[in-house]
Amino acid sequence: MSIIAEMPMDLYQTLLRPLLFSGLKTDPEWLHQQSLKLLGWLDDSSANQMPWVLTQLERSLSLSDPRLQQQLWGLNFANPMGLAAGFDKDGIAAGLWSRFGFGFAELGTVTLHTQPGNPQPRLFRLPLDQAVLNRMGFNNQGAAALAERLREKEKGKRKKDAENLTPHSALCTSHFSPFPLGINLGKSKITSLEESATDYVGSFRSLKDLGDYFVVNVSSPNTPGLRSLQDKAQLEPILQALQQENVAHKPLLVKIAPDLEWEAIADVIALAQQHQLAGIIATNTTIQRNGLQTERLSTGNPVAQEAGGISGAPVRQRSTEVIRFIYQETKGQLPIIGVGGIFTAEDAWEKITAGASLVQVYTGWVYEGPWMVRRVLEGLLQKLDEQGLKSIQDAVGIGSDAVPSL
């Protein structure tokens, strides 16, 4: 890991990425799981045994500047770049993500019941399109297991503080983490659509003391019927039940699909305002296949015949349009987390100026490598200088006047 921390950033794209993507001919999901195991071991052991590894990681990959700081929902974000849900579903490396330069991270998607997800293979890279197709199906160990893991990490942090005679003070409710951790909630596959509200509330009840904000995921295309929960009649009882359980007033957001019509997005906005949600995440993966250069997957089948959602560059423009629409409709009063196709500082700047207070990455981080966050943050600072702005907050929504493509 220290070797990676010191590696010039261009070597990842010219040497390491080609080796990982094609040279080793490994299944992308297997490689992801092995990487998570390594990061989980590092998260659990290095604080006591190898603190120099964390120091090298942070020094190489992080960038601190007060102009990048954001304050939302009573939480302090050192910068607007977050790790999107889906990368660390079970919180394996939950205490480590700040070392990679992120300003926050979102765990999950987690469901009330443990579930294996969809049959493999279910994760495919589309390098010609700078994209990923996944049909994972919310594979995770369940809400109770995530809660237990996060509590164990908190205990470990308290023990370390006691051994080092360090006063324990939490910046966030997730005490082991130096930055905000969100938790993304999904519906269990075995739960009927009619019982969705009970399912979401069950997960939230197990985790509500362990996350700094929570996300209602009703937009993944990989659980049968889930996207229908974005419909006003089905989403409203879910939000109502969660807010009734949410006595501590944790920030609650909803994550929507890029494929919704404007009228449907307007309905979600109205519900978010009615039920006092903290914000909207725009957007999830797309089921559209238009304009892809990749013709066939490793299965041998045409991409158009393969189920799953596509992330990365193909969703970039649409997600930005959705962000702009939400910002315009709410007059900037409902915070937005923008996600979809961010690879460069320009991509992040477009989403921020369209109306996103925070942004998230996943596919772009896989393609660009661990130095991506620092490089994007450096680019954002340059954008602030060029525009004569004092902070990233000043940039939110300044380009929202453009009309979304209908």
Q: What is the pLDDT of residues 253-271, one digit of tens each?
A: 999 999 999 999 999 999 9
Question: pLDDT of 392-403, one tens digit each?
Answer: 999 999 998 865
Distance of CA 324 to the CA centre of its chain: 19
Other Cβ atoms less than 10 A from the Cβ of 207: the count is 22
Catalytic entry in 62, 177, 220, 319: 220
> What residues in the chain have per-residue pLDDT under 70?
1-25, 45-50, 161-175, 402-406
Tokens 């089905």 label which residue?
Answer: 234
298 is a catalytic site residue = no
**Tokens 């957007």 found at:** 283
What is the model's pLDDT at position 56? 83
Output the pLDDT for position 155: 84
User: How much is the pLDDT for 159?
Assistant: 72
Q: Residue 139 corresponds to which tokens in the numbers above?
A: 């594979």
What pLDDT shows up at residue 1? 42
Residue 57 has a pLDDT of: 82
Nearest to 223, CA basis, from 287, 161, 298: 287
Half-sphere exposure of 358 (CA within 13 A, CB side): 32
Question: Strand, helix or coil at 117?
Answer: coil
Distance CA 110, CA 332 (A): 30
Nearest to 342 by CA among 324, 367, 323: 367
pTM of the model: 0.92
For 333, the token pair is 């009063």
Number of neighbouring beta carbons within 10 Å of residue 386: 9
**163-222 pLDDT, tens per residue?**
665 554 445 655 577 899 999 999 999 999 999 999 999 999 999 999 999 999 999 998
pLDDT value at residue 42: 86
The proportion of the chain whose per-residue pLDDT surpasses 70, expressed as a percent, equals: 87
